[in-house]
Homo-oligomer: A and B are copies of this chain.
Amino acid sequence: MEQLIQIVDTTLRDGSHAVRHSFTEEQVSAIAAGLDRCHVPLIELSHGDGLGGSSYTYGFSKRDEFLLLKAAAEQIKNGKLTVLLLPGIGTIEDLKKAHDCGAKAVRVATHVTEADVSAQHIEAARRLGMMTVGFLMMTHMAEPEIIAEEAKKMESYGADYINLADSAGFLLPEDVAARVRAVKEAVSIPVGFHAHNNLNLAIANSLAAVEAGASYIDATLRGLGAGAGNTQIEVLAGVLKRKGIDTGLDFYGLMDLAERSVEPLMQRPQTVDNGSLMLGYAGVYSSFLLHVYDAAKKYDLDPRDIMIELGKRRMVGGQEDMILSVAYQLKQQAG
């Protein structure tokens, strides 16, 4: 029986950022087995930046992700082992290897306005017989109608559902609802949502998505994830249970799993510190941070003012070299 709301666990993917990609086979086995016992339908595992992310740019994984996928696949009896794939970072060859290791679903992720980059990868995944998800990142950077157009492209390539990510943790509940509603109206496949907790709104934004019609919600044990972390799966399970919304999840089981298998390996608490608050407030990439601090020092500016300006300009990853010139302009204006 299909549940009303399907929770997608991404502890072993987005959570990988928070442990600097240090998951071992033993940790993966315990977490994947536990999530499967708790009836999580989709269990995502890969480098935080998707298949092939292990690199100088994105941080090296301690253990080969294909070995980790095999370890997880051995434990998962009911759910679908899922991978993330960012075209340009991961390849179709990586996807085939992941499939050979037991991955049954893939989420193909692009910047919110670049869905066309996903066509070949989505088609390849379909040919492999995998459940295939179109995943739009940084959805705060585009208006709902634009996002709906991009979602329609991914649907036309063969996606089984569209996942909208608030990658910077910028959106407020009403913004999430508007985006989910616009995409729901535009496509005939289900819609999902992926929150970050930078403004401490991950649970509220996930609820707003559900109320607007989303049927897949991403979450992680203890909220493990980049920045301030993701929607905390055991809290979400409890809140949805209280609201009478069925997820099929084992609420107590998720709590126990979080305590026993995730807490001991956390390298920092998933709280909202000043860095993650500013990323969420301004809506900028976490990879900008070091460049921003350098530019602030050079021009004697508050790094927060630079971040807000970058957010206003909707600067995206790859434009790091422009941060210095933005800081220079800010300094001229101030002077």
Contacts and interface: CB of A to CB of B under 8 A. Distances in A.
Interface in A221-276: 222-223, 232, 234-235, 238-239, 242-243, 252, 255-256, 258-259, 269-274
Integer count of this chain's copies in the complex: 2
Interface in A123-168: none
Given A255-B277, A274-B259, A239 B269 contact: no
Nearest to A206: B200
Contacts of A207: 172-173, 204
A239 B304 CA distance: 15
Given A202-B200, A272-B235, A242 B304 contact: no
B274 A271 contact: no
A201 interface: yes
Given A252-B304, A281-B238, A302-B252, A232 B200 contact: yes
A203 interface: yes
Contacts of A273: 259
A58 B309 CA distance: 48
- Most B-side CB within 10 Å, residue of A200, A234, A281: A200
A243 B234 CA distance: 29
A92 interface: no
A129 B273 CA distance: 39
B203 A277 contact: no
Nearest to A205: B204
Contact of A281 (B200, B204, B242, B304): B242
Contacts of A199: 203, 235, 238-239
Interface in A164-180: 172-173
Contact of A203 (B201, B234, B256, B271): B201
A223 B281 CA distance: 17
Interface in A270-294: 270-274, 277-278, 280-281
Given A242-B172, A243-B172, A234 B277 contact: yes
A98 B238 CA distance: 41
A312 to B, nearest CB: 12
Contacts of A201: 203-204, 239
Contacts of A277: 234-235, 238, 255
The CB with the most chain B CB atoms within 10 A, among A256, A272, A278, is that of A272
A278 B256 CA distance: 12
Contact of A200 (B200, B242, B258): B200
Residue in A203, A302, A304 with the greatest tally of chain B CB atoms within 10 Å = A203
21 contacts: A200-B200, A200-B203, A200-B223, A200-B232, A203-B204, A222-B271, A223-B271, A235-B277, A238-B277, A238-B280, A238-B281, A242-B281, A252-B302, A255-B277, A255-B278, A255-B304, A256-B274, A258-B274, A269-B271, A270-B271, A271-B271
Nearest 7 CB-CB pairings of A with B: A204-B204, A269-B269, A200-B203, A238-B281, A255-B274, A200-B235, A269-B271
